[in-house]
């Protein structure tokens, strides 16, 4: 493989790793292997530490492809836990509100899910890397400072409930760039006059790139060292 000329690497990001952790690991191995002080390595779309799945890394001249890859539609699978909300909309923070789920039925859940299909305005989580006046939103949130999040126009192409075992609901979603699945989980709960937060997330596709073709971090390191 010619990492300087440019390679696109598909990696299955482990749980609790940041996307930058993966970039740092791969860049470090490349610098060692190539005996260089510098090489371009970037990822085409962040995954939260509590998410797993497809992370697309580009090296060398292939980093020019990052913007176009980031713009492609994405597919995720995951789990929404109903009956509670958290400030981060996922499991990073403790539940702050509890709700009764006894009136929720599969029919209500399916109807609510279908209402999200199409174009809509979505508010990003305050616990996110979204920039507000040059600072990441979570910097404000973790200090308890109030911050106004601007809505983004997103498109949900498919939102399928694959398993209902309350309080948990498994799903598969296909969506546009800029969609926050944590916000989708929160909004899904709100649409049921209830609460919801994201308790598991796995990215399975970015455009034509699929998780089935991805390697573990260890496998990528091995490929680098043996190339």
Alpha helices (runs of H) in the chain, residue ranges in sequence order: 19-34, 66-70, 106-114, 137-142, 181-191, 217-226
**CB-CB neighbours of 24 under 10 Å:** 13
Phi, psi (deg, nearest 5) at residue 189: -60, -45
Catalytic annotation on 48? yes
Paired tokens of 216: 């573990």
Catalytic residue among 48, 96, 146, 170: 48
Find the angle CA(206)-CA(208)-CA(210) to the nearest 5 degrees: 65
Beta pairing class for 74-82 and 97-98: unpaired
Positions marked active-site: 48
């Amino acid at each position: 493989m010619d990492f300087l000329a440019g390679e696109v690497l598909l990696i299955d990001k482990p749980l609790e790793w940041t996307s930058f952790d993966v970039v740092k690991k791969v860049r470090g191995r490349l610098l060692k292997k190539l005996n260089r002080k510098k090489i371009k390595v970037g990822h085409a779309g962040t995954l939260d530490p509590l998410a797993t799945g497809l992370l697309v890394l580009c090296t060398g001249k292939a980093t020019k492809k990052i913007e176009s890859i980031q713009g492609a539609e994405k597919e995720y699978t995951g789990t929404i836990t109903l009956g509670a909300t958290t400030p981060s909309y996922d499991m990073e923070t403790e539940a702050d509100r509890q709700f009764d789920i006894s009136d929720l039925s599969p029919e209500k859940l399916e109807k609510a899910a279908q209402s999200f299909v199409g174009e809509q305005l979505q508010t990003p989580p305050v616990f996110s890397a979204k920039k507000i006046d040059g600072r990441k939103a979570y910097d404000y949130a973790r200090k308890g400072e109030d911050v106004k999040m601007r809505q983004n126009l997103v498109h949900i192409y498919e939102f399928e409930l694959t398993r209902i075992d309350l309080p948990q609901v498994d799903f598969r979603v296909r969506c546009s760039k800029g969609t926050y699945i944590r916000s989708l989980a929160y909004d899904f709960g709100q649409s049921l006059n209830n609460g919801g937060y994201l308790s598991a997330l796995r990215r399975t596709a970015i455009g034509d790139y699929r998780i089935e073709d991805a390697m573990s971090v260890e496998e990528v390191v091995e490929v680098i060292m043996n190339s």
